[in-house]
Structure 1
Amino acid sequence: MVRVDDYAHHVGRHCGSTSLRNLAGHYGWGYDEETCFGLAAGLGFTYFEVDESPHRGFFGRPPRLEPAFFDRLAIDVDRHEGGDWETTLERIRTAVAAGDPALVFTDIYYLDYFGTDTHFAPHALLCVGIDEEAETALLSDSEFDELQEVSLERLRAAMASDHVLPLRNRHIVVADPEPDRTLADAAPEAIAEMAGTMLEPNDQDRDTGFGTQGIEGIRRLAEDLPSWVDLENPRWTVRFAYQNVERRGTGGGAFRRLYADFLERAADAVPALPDDAPSRMHDIAADWTAVGETLAEASERADPEAMRPALVDAGESIRDLADREERLYGELRAELA
């Protein structure tokens, strides 16, 4: 087996930001998970419709979180997407042998240690070992206390999944581990970028063709939510929505709690940050958690029509949250852009 020496595995709140935090520990960048999340402009929103179950859903993070972190700190990386599995595996093996964890993007359905029958992607983790004789990979996954071993065949399937978001063997390897920018340089720009893309999603996010982005996506969720009772399996759709608020690596409050913690940490490095921004984001996170609780309760109702009043209430709360987020992001963009 080739394996990254002296790699320290840590669990965390979100797969992408935990993987970035573990890279930060490995390369000595000195950033905790919350700071990695914020420097990646990690807060976002995408509301989507898909043909397969759960048919409707949303993510509280942007599509480009991990690449944005490296861009913001001017860390040189090799990014790859597409290409055949043999080339991908050789690239990962070469990186691991050189002491560089490979950041890979997966669908948890194919990772046996999750034991799930639900497709969920992209799930980011680090590959830190390859044993070609045993045909296994060693993975550092934010959800588990210990490193996890999977067959190369299952890793191949997980990295090639076309469910939810097509992955196409997407992976990133650090080429030069020396950042060219400091927290004081990067944090104001990262906050302004987050605010700007929530208010006006950029062309790169829109061009993914997947879902409705930003504040517009939150408002579309609020409008559509009561109609979910007419879907094929509304209880599962609503349960899945609850999970995307409070579980599935969100850090709670649809990622808003994680971002509120970042704003607290960044305050000294960003003098222009409004004093009340962290507390307002904490309040927003708490109210998203309350929405999640409403959705969880609604998902327990066997009669879809009995779910409708709760979904109407949740939609009204989400509409109010969209207004509050829009005001906060407008102020952040005005102060920091």
Structure 2
Amino acid sequence: MTQFSHTQTAHCESGVISNLFGHHGLHISEPMAFGIGAGIFFGHLPFVKVNGVPGSTYRIWPGAIFARACKRLGVEMESHKFGSVDKAMKALDQMIDKGVPVGMQSSVYYLPYFPESYRFHFNAHNLVVYGKDGDDYLVSDPIMDTVTRIDTESLIRARFAKGFPAPKGKMYYPLNVPQEVDFNEPIKAGIAQACHYMLKIPVPMFGVKGIRFLANRVKDYPAKVGDRRAALYLGNIIRMQEEIGTGGAGFRFMYAAFLQEAGSLLDKPELNDIGRELTIVGDSWRNFAANAGRVCKARSADNVSYGELSKMLVQIAGQEENVFRRLSTVKL
């Protein structure tokens, strides 16, 4: 049976990168994987509904961190999606028989090792299957504190869950992993791309502009959609921030850790300073979530409450803009 070294991480995609690459001899921390993959982001998408209400994202779209990290680190990956369950499970079993751990996309809802309160319809969760014992598959799920297992039927349901984005049995594994990598250029490329996405995308729903866009909408929620839906809209902002994929504040803390690690590797102490500044932004996001939660529980239709939350978001937007403008001027 394949031995797999499992490390618990904060986020599934960057955690799978760290664990899977480490298994093949390329040791990279989760924050470094997240930073090289330019994972930090913000977007508010009123036309993309999550459980019937507008969606927000605090990270780049699923799969992008992995693709960027592989490209910048010179890792060659093989990836497959499947039209049938039989082909998908046969392909998985073939790789496991070869002793190759396999990353895959799944739905959180059908993972029985998750506590029931954490199981919801989110189809972009990443995990590693590294072995099989009878009818159970052995799983390294980055957000769990230890390895676990899943029965065949549950794994099939998780791999072929309906909804967006449909996993379609997606599985992936490295074909070639360099044992030694110069992190300098990947770090620089990751920072440059993150700054561009946070500051320069012309669409108003993304980056720093997107936070201000959300702020403008939040203050008008009670008047435009009514008390009940306003609370649902606000509750989903909190949920997307604090529960799904590490959350807005969590991603800010992770990127801050990346900047501090990068500062040491590149001998650029200003990156350490910017990282500390970004942790303050993370605290601001957590403070916003706490206050928004109180508004939701009160079911307040008072525009002043939503207006104050809007002002908090405007302040956060200013903080993030300062961080990324400063970061964009560092000579790397």
Structure 1 length as normaliser, TM-score? Answer: 0.84
Is structure 2 residue 270 aligned with structure 1 residue 274? yes
Give the superposition deviation at 1:257. 0.7
User: Residues 61-86 of structure 1: CA distance to partner in whole angstroms, max 9, x if unpaired?
Assistant: 10111221111211010123454333
Determine if contact 2:36/2:190 at 8 Å carries over to the other structure.
Answer: yes
- C-alpha distance in 2 between matches for 1:213 and 1:58: 10
State the match for 1:222 in structure 2.
215
Tell me, what secondary structure is at the counterpart of 1:166? coil
State the match for 2:316 in structure 1.
321
Give the superposition deviation at 1:52. 5.4
Determine if contact 2:53/2:232 at 8 Å carries over to the other structure.
Answer: no
User: Residues 255-287 of structure 1: CA distance to partner in whole angstroms, max 9, x if unpaired?
Assistant: 101110110111022345734311221111111
The one of 50, 53, 61 equivalent to 2:51 is: 53
* Two-structure CA RMSD over aligned residues (Å): 2.8
The 1:144–1:155 alpha-carbon spacing in structure 2 relative to 1, beyond 3 Å, is same
- C-alpha distance in 1 between matches for 2:153 and 2:221: 37
Aligned pairs, number: 323
- C-alpha distance in 2 between matches for 1:291 and 1:157: 36
Determine if contact 1:101/1:126 at 8 Å carries over to the other structure.
Answer: yes
The 1:291–1:33 alpha-carbon spacing in structure 2 relative to 1, beyond 3 Å, is same
- C-alpha distance in 2 between matches for 1:242 and 1:105: 24
Identity %: 22
- C-alpha distance in 2 between matches for 1:156 and 1:228: 40
The 1:107–1:212 alpha-carbon spacing in structure 2 relative to 1, beyond 3 Å, is farther
- C-alpha distance in 2 between matches for 1:216 and 1:93: 46
State the match for 2:297 in structure 1.
300
State the match for 1:150 in structure 2.
150
Structure 2 length as normaliser, TM-score? Answer: 0.85
Letter in 2 for 1:141: D
- C-alpha distance in 2 between matches for 1:52 and 1:259: 25
Letter in 2 for 1:224: R
User: Residues 100-132 of structure 1: CA distance to partner in whole angstroms, max 9, x if unpaired?
Assistant: 22221122112223225631231111122246x
Give the superposition deviation at 1:57. 2.6
- C-alpha distance in 2 between matches for 1:315 and 1:213: 17
- C-alpha distance in 1 between matches for 2:43 and 2:168: 20
Give the superposition deviation at 1:250. 1.6
Letter in 2 for 1:86: D
State the match for 1:112 in structure 2.
112
The one of 307, 313, 321 equivalent to 1:312 is: 307
Q: Which moved more, 1:253-262 or 1:151-160?
A: 151-160
Tell me, what secondary structure is at the counterpart of 2:191? helix
- C-alpha distance in 2 between matches for 1:169 and 1:62: 22
The one of 23, 26, 29 equivalent to 2:26 is: 29
Gaps of at least 5 residues in structure 2 are: none
Determine if contact 1:13/1:251 at 8 Å carries over to the other structure.
Answer: no
Give the superposition deviation at 1:56. 2.0
Q: How does 1:36-185 map to 2 (within 5 A)?
A: 36-49=33-46, 50-51=48-49, 53-63=51-61, 64-81=64-81, 83-114=83-114, 115-116=116-117, 118-130=120-132, 134=135, 136-178=136-178, 181-185=181-185
The 1:228–1:144 alpha-carbon spacing in structure 2 relative to 1, beyond 3 Å, is farther
Give the superposition deviation at 1:174. 0.7
Determine if contact 1:137/1:149 at 8 Å carries over to the other structure.
Answer: yes
The 1:212–1:81 alpha-carbon spacing in structure 2 relative to 1, beyond 3 Å, is farther
Is structure 2 residue 4 aligned with structure 1 residue 7? yes
The 1:314–1:196 alpha-carbon spacing in structure 2 relative to 1, beyond 3 Å, is same
Letter in 2 for 1:196: H
Give the superposition deviation at 1:141. 1.3
